[in-house]
C-alpha cells in the first residue's frame, strides 16, 4: 500500500518533528508529563492516563429481594444472559440490537446503555470483551490504510471520508506516513476541510471527527492510532465550553467511562485551536462572537475545578480569557477573515510554528 504525498516541503514539518521527538522521549521516561495527580469522587486523575477509576470507590448494591431494585436486578440478569449467548456463539451485537430484543421491557435505549456500562465496570473488562459493539458515527480521512476484521482493505483518501470501523479491536495492518492527526470537533468543519483539499495540501496527515461528543469507537480509533504510530495529535474545537469539554474527553476521558481510561485516553493530545486568545489576536469582530449563557459559565467553572486543569496552566489561561470576556466563538467565525482562512492560513501557520498548547 503506497501513498503519494502532495504536501509542503519537508522543512514545513520541522517543529512538528521536534514535537514528536519530545513525545517519544516522554514515552521512554514512562509516559508521564511534569505534573501530579488529584482525586475526585470515584475517579483519580493521573497525567499519563487521564481520569481512571480508583479501587476503593463507593459501590452500590442491587438486590433481588428489594422492591426498589428488583426491576433493575432483573434487567441486569436479562442482559447478562444475552452477553453469555454472544460470547458462547462468538457473535457480536450492538447496544441497539440488544434494546430491540425487548424494547417494551427496557423502556428506552439509555437503560440498556447504563446497564452495559455497569456490567463492564463490574467485571472490569472493556465493552468489546462482552461482544457488544457501538454503532460508529465518526469519520476518518487522509493518509491511512488498514485491513478490517473480515479482510476488507480500506484506503482512506484525502477527498472522501470513511466511516470509523465498528470493531476497532479487529482492524490490523495499519499503515500511514502521516506527520500528525487532527481531531475536528464538528462534522461541518471536517467536511469544509475536505472540500478545501486540506489533507492534500498538508499531506501526509490524518483527520478524524466524532461529529460532536465522540462515540466509543472514535475514541478507541484515536487511541489505537496513537499507540501504533505515536504521531502528534491535535484538536480543533470551537472556543466555547462545549468544545473544551469534547477535547477533554479525547485527552483525559470522562467520569462515566473512567473504568476504561487505559483503553480510551490520549494525554499527549494538544489543543491547536480555536483558542480564546486567537479571537483578540486575529481581531475577530464582536458581532461574530456569541455571549456565554449561564449554563456556559457553569460549565467553565466546572472545568476550571477539574484536577487536570491545575496541571495545564496554558489551558487555564485560555479558559480564564473566555470567562473574563463572557464571549465564545465558533470555528466558523474565522470566515470573517476569508472563506478559506481556516485551511489556507490558520491551520498551516499553527502547525508550522507550533501554535498549540
Number of domains forming the structure of the chain: 2
Closest by Cα among 214, 201, 111, 210 to 159: 201
Q: What is the CATH number of the domain that holds 58?
A: 1.10.10.10
In a domain, 232, yes or no: yes
Q: For residue 89, give its domain range.
A: 41-133
Chain-centroid distance, C-alpha 133: 17
Percent of residues in the chain assigned helix, strand, coil, to nearest 5: 50, 15, 35
Q: At which of 74, 106, 133 does a domain end?
A: 133
The rounded distance, in Å, linking the Cα atoms of 265 and 52 is 10
SS3 call for 115: helix
Give the DSSP letter string of 169-203. Answer: GG-EEEE---S-EEEES-HHHHHHHHHTTHHHHT-
In a domain, 109, yes or no: yes
Q: At which of 118, 133, 148 does a domain end?
A: 133
In a domain, 230, yes or no: yes
Place 133 in a pLDDT band, splitting at 50, 70 and 90. Answer: confident
Residues 195 and 90 in one domain: no
Closest by Cα among 27, 45, 25, 23 to 35: 45
The rounded distance, in Å, linking the Cα atoms of 137 and 94 is 13
pLDDT of 67 > 60? The answer is: yes
pLDDT of 55 > 70? The answer is: no
Lowest mean pLDDT among 68-72, 110-114, 280-284: 68-72
pLDDT of 13 > 70? The answer is: yes
More confident position, 263 or 35: 263
The rounded distance, in Å, linking the Cα atoms of 318 and 323 is 9
The distance in angstroms from the start CA to the end CA of the chain is: 34
Mean pLDDT of 130-151: 91
- pLDDT for 258: 62
In a domain, 24, yes or no: no
Lowest mean pLDDT among 51-65, 155-169, 200-214, 318-332: 51-65
Mean pLDDT of 322-351: 95
Q: At which of 93, 109, 133 does a domain end?
A: 133
pLDDT of 314 > 80? The answer is: yes
In a domain, 65, yes or no: yes
Q: Are 176 and 141 in contact (CB under 8 A)?
A: no
Cα dihedral sign, 135-141-147-153? positive
- pLDDT for 124: 80
Residues 162 and 297 in one domain: yes
The residue annotated as part of the active site, out of 100, 146, 250, 308, is 100
Question: Which DSSP symbol is given to 283?
Answer: T
More confident position, 270 or 66: 270
Residue with C-alpha cell 507550533? 354
Place 156 in a pLDDT band, splitting at 50, 70 and 90. Answer: very high
Place 37 in a pLDDT band, splitting at 50, 70 and 90. Answer: very low
Residues 198 and 328 in one domain: yes
DSSP E strand boundaries for 126-280: 132-133, 139-142, 145-147, 153-155, 162-163, 172-175, 181-184, 206-209, 233-236, 270-273
pLDDT of 345 > 90? The answer is: yes
Residues 61 and 168 in one domain: no
Residues 148 and 48 in one domain: no
In a domain, 8, yes or no: no
- Is 100 designated active site? yes
Residues 145 and 219 in one domain: yes
Contacts of 24 (CB under 8 A, 6+ apart): 230
Mean pLDDT of 322-335: 95
Amino acid at each position: 500500500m503506497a501513498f503519494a504525498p502532495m504536501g509542503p516541503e519537508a522543512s514545513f514539518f520541522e517543529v512538528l518533528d521536534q514535537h514528536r521527538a519530545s513525545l517519544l522521549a516522554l514515552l521512554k521516561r514512562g509516559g508521564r508529563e511534569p505534573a501530579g495527580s488529584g482525586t475526585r469522587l470515584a475517579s483519580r486523575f493521573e497525567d499519563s492516563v487521564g481520569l481512571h477509576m480508583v479501587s476503593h470507590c463507593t459501590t452500590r448494591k442491587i438486590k433481588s429481594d428489594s422492591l426498589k431494585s428488583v426491576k433493575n436486578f432483573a434487567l441486569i440478569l436479562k442482559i447478562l444472559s444475552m452477553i453469555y449467548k454472544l460470547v458462547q456463539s462468538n457473535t457480536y451485537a450492538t447496544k441497539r440490537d440488544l434494546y430491540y430484543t425487548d424494547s417494551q421491557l427496557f423502556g428506552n435505549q439509555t437503560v440498556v446503555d447504563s446497564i452495559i456500562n455497569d456490567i463492564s465496570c463490574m467485571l472490569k473488562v472493556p465493552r468489546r470483551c462482552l461482544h457488544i459493539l457501538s454503532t460508529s458515527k465518526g469519520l476518518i480521512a487522509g493518509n491511512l490504510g488498514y485491513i478490517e476484521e473480515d479482510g476488507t482493505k480500506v484506503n482512506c483518501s484525502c477527498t472522501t471520508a470513511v466511516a470509523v470501523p465498528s470493531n476497532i479491536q479487529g482492524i490490523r495492518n495499519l499503515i500511514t506516513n502521516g506527520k500528525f492527526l487532527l481531531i475536528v470537533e464538528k462534522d461541518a468543519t471536517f467536511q469544509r476541510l475536505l472540500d478545501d483539499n486540506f489533507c492534500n495540501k498538508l499531506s501526509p496527515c490524518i483527520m478524524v471527527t466524532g461529529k460532536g461528543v465522540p462515540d466509543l469507537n472514535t475514541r478507541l480509533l484515536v487511541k489505537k492510532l496513537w499507540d501504533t504510530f505515536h504521531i502528534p495529535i491535535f484538536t480543533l474545537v470551537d472556543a466555547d465550553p462545549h468544545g473544551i469539554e469534547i477535547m477533554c474527553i479525547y485527552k483525559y476521558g470522562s467520569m462515566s467511562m473512567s473504568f476504561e481510561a487505559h483503553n480510551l485516553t490520549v494525554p499527549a493530545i494538544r489543543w491547536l485551536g480555536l483558542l480564546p486568545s486567537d479571537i483578540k489576536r486575529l481581531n475577530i469582530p464582536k458581532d461574530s462572537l456569541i455571549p456565554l449563557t449561564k449554563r456556559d459559565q457553569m460549565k467553565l467553572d466546572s472545568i476550571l475545578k477539574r484536577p487536570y486543569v491545575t496541571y495545564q496552566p496554558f489551558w487555564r489561561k485560555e479558559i480564564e480569557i473566555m470567562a473574563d470576556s463572557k464571549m465564545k466563538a465558533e470555528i466558523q467565525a474565522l470566515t470573517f477573515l476569508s472563506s478559506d482562512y481556516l485551511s489556507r492560513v490558520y491551520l498551516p501557520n499553527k502547525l508550522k510554528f507550533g501554535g498549540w498548547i
